[in-house]
Structure 1
Amino acid sequence: MGVSRETVRSWEAGRTTPRGRKREAYARALAGLTAPQPPAADPVDPKPAAPVPAAPETEPPAVRPPAEAPLRQEQPVRVPVGAALTPVSTADEILADTEDPTATTALTPSQAFDALYAFCAPALVRQTYLLTGRRELAREAVERAFQLAWQRWPEVAVDRDPGGWVRATAYEYALSPWHRLRPRHRHPEPPPADAADRVLLEAFLKLPPAHRRTLLLYDGVGLGLPETAAETEASTPAAANRLLHARGAIAARLPELAAPEELHRRLTALASGERLRAARPPTVRTGSEQRARQWTRAAVAFTVVIISATALTLRDAQDHYEPPVAPGATVQGVPPRVAPGPLSRQELELRAKLRSELLNGPERLTPDDH
């Protein structure tokens, strides 16, 4: 089933619950263990009773060929075959996989974060690579997600599924449409070396982002349909329709991948073929703290600018109220001005006489006193 003994013990103790393909495999194993046993030999018989053969365990459904080599991990931890896309998702399973299960309560926040990062980061980088087809963006998305998780560690540490919290954050960052505006993302990266992997990745990237994410979570990671719908923020029927359309689009181009098991195997092989390494946990924690300090300083500087602008506005603003000048209004009761009418004959003669005497008469040089 791809888990350790401590994980199975946590399932039996009720601390955690298996999900997806692990749940189905665990149910098959329990069904094989609870099969009816053959009757024992008669106790009166002096001959020793023959040992009763144990009921054979039912093997879980094969997801990946046993001959496939385990994937490389950042930490020297044994990783089961087929775990290229499926990391340990719950905090109890992560802590239970340590050598000393009784030391889980003594872990510091840094140690708990490093354990979560060591188990989830390598698989998350491969999952994000399948979503975007870009190696640098995959590493950046996972690093940003874990940086945000370290900033909100009190919230993430008590979450029911911290691995799912980080996975959803990494997916959201990787599928953001703003990345297409970045200069280095305008040119495609080199495709995989294998021709079959190139065709599968090209067909997978042609799916809509929502369908691509649903198909990866259900057929790649192995989540159940309700968990997939909850993580993609969709209803269960909507998630089922997205899954069917995504499978149909892949099968239309690659008919040999119509079976979900074969699709899961090919996705795992595609992700395993790329050498994708995540950063070290201390580097991620240091980067998260530096980013938090930068944002804090930027917030303080912005607050200082706002306070300075407000103080300057208060100093230059008027300290009393000046009412605006009222617009002009019509005054009632005043008779309108009468314009002068046409001149009479006598007035015209007088005007002509005055003009001629002022210009040509002797009064112009010697004014008459009379």
Structure 2
Amino acid sequence: MPQSPAPPLPSPKERRRLREAKSLSQADLAAKVGVTRETVRSWETGRTSPRGRKREAYAKLLNAVAAEQAAAEAPHRPEPKKTERATTSASTSSTPSTPSTAGGRSRSRSKSAAKRAAKPRTPAPHAAAASTAPAAPTALRSLPVRVTKAEAPPEQPDLTPAQAFDALCAGCGPGLVRQAYLLTGRRGLAQESVERAFQLAWQRWPEVAVDRDPAGWVRAAAYEYAMSPWHRFRPGQRHPDAPPAQAADRAFLDVLLSLPPAQRRALMLYDGVGLDLPETAAETEASTPAAANRILHAREAIAERLPDLADPEVLHQRLGEVGKAEKLRLPRAERVRTGSEYRARFWTRAAIAFTALIIGATALTLRNAPTHYEPPQAPGRAISGVPPRMGPGPLTYEDTTLREKLRAEFPNGEERLTPEAR
């Protein structure tokens, strides 16, 4: 019996927008669909996709939200086609041989008005830093809408997997190393995190190759490894690296590293990489208002200590200049692939050895284990009516005297014991 096709789903970004338009949290949506909050988060970030009945319930809920939005926006939509047709017909009936000047002016005015209405309003930079704890809607309105995205190497279908991976590594590696250095302030850790991220991407290359944004996949892995709190327990990370040569770079890096890790990462993605606000929130696994508040608080902290960087455009240029000023070792694709394969072989052999050790210990236990059940011995108890075991008692006075007499006389020889009559 043929299976019914799976219902289509919108893009992960559209799924997140529909949920927020319905004013639902990830926990609320998870309760409606019957999954966990982490599952909904992975669906909205594009890491996984629902299947079976969960997919049908998820698609039905999203379609209902989209239908509600369409029904709410339908009465407020203008009808430009009817107006243009009426204007054109009126001008044509008045002057059929010449083009209509009034109709052209009205159409140009309507187009310019539509452009003004569609253009996002970008407030002044000081408006974002005015409030210390803005609410979610204010934070969203005060942040400009960015349309620039991280440039990824062009896809070429004729390349082999190794060639495609090398192209990705060559195109995204230098920028990722500089970003990791700005996030951590350590050159060695930045290089190590990027190499580890590319090694993980090569191990999962079939999954990364078909991803919508391979560069974003590697960037997220590099950021997670670079900002892991466990690095502070490593002996090599106890002492800070040498600061930059320029005094301005040192001051900017100190201010950047003084920010909390969540604000530092959101600022790097939004002002450094150039992602828009929903993509920044999705990559940091936070809500859009939370990501907006993090960016605004980070900008306020930087503008308070470095007033020259209050403008977001100047901050964006400054992030690129400080990253490019440092001489960092770039990851080599061949070395990354070799290291990834070596690590995969090492952990595979370690897993096989550990499994063999468990099997051997289990076999030895089974070999030495008893084959039948032996019940434990019951504890003893006292029995009445049985006389206790006794030995010979002490000698009396007569017995002691006779023993001494016998020991004093000679047992051998002519002298013999003779009975005496009494």
TM range (shorter): 0.5 to 0.7
Question: Paired residue for 1:200, among 234, 252, 261?
Answer: 252
- Aligned equivalent of 1:129: 181
SS in 2 for 1:122: helix
Between structures 1 and 2, the one with greater helix share: 2
Once residues 161 and 328 of structure 1 are traced to their aligned partners in structure 2, the CA distance between those partners, rounded to angstroms, is 78
Structure 1, unaligned stretches of length 5 or more? Answer: 1-16, 18-42, 45-60, 62-84, 96-103, 339-353
C-alpha spacing 1:298/1:250, structure 2 compared with 1 (3 Å): same
Contact 1:87/1:119, CA 8 A, preserved across alignment: no
Q: Confirm whether residue 319 of structure 1 aligns to residue 319 of structure 2.
A: no
CA RMSD of aligned residues (A): 3.3
Aligned to 2:238: 186
Identity %: 65
1:106-165 alpha-carbon deviations (Å, 9 max, x no partner): 111111111111111110000000011111111111111011101100000111111111
Match of 2:298 among 231, 240, 246: 246
Kept in 2, the 8 Å contact 1:128–1:171? The answer is yes
Q: Which one of 343, 346, 353 corresponds to residue 291 of structure 1?
A: 343
Of the three residues 228, 240, 261, the one matched with 1:209 is 261
Once residues 362 and 306 of structure 2 are traced to their aligned partners in structure 1, the CA distance between those partners, rounded to angstroms, is: 64
Task: Provide the secondary structure at the position in 2 that maps to 1:323.
Answer: coil
- Of 123, 130, 154, the residue aligned with 1:94 is 154
Contact 1:87 1:123 in 2 (8 A): no
Q: 1:113 aligns with which of 162, 165, 180?
A: 165
Q: 1:359 to 1:326 in 2, by over 3 A?
A: closer
Which of 304, 311, 315 aligns to 1:263? It is 315
Corresponding residue to 1:273 among 322, 325, 328: 325
Displacement of 1:88 after TM fit? Answer: 1.6
Over residues 222-280 of structure 1, what are the superposed CA-to-partner deviations in whole Å (9 max), with x where a residue is unaligned?
11111111111111122122222222221221122122112111111111111223122
Q: 1:155 aligns with which of 194, 197, 207?
A: 207
Partner of 2:191: 139
TM-score when normalising by structure 1: 0.64
What's the CA shift for 1:326?
3.3
Structure 1 Cα separation of the partners of residues 369 and 386 of structure 2: 45
Does the 8 A contact of 1:87 with 1:120 survive in 2?
no
Q: 1:164 aligned to 2:227?
A: no
> Shift of residue 169 of structure 1?
0.3
Looking at structure 1, the residues matched to 200 and 251 of structure 2 have their Cα atoms a distance apart, in angstroms, of 34
Query: CA–CA distance in 2 between the matches of 1:308 and 1:106?
Result: 49
Alignment: residue pair count? 265
Contact preservation (8 Å) 2:178, 2:190: yes
| Contact 2:194–2:331 under 8 Å retained in 1 | no
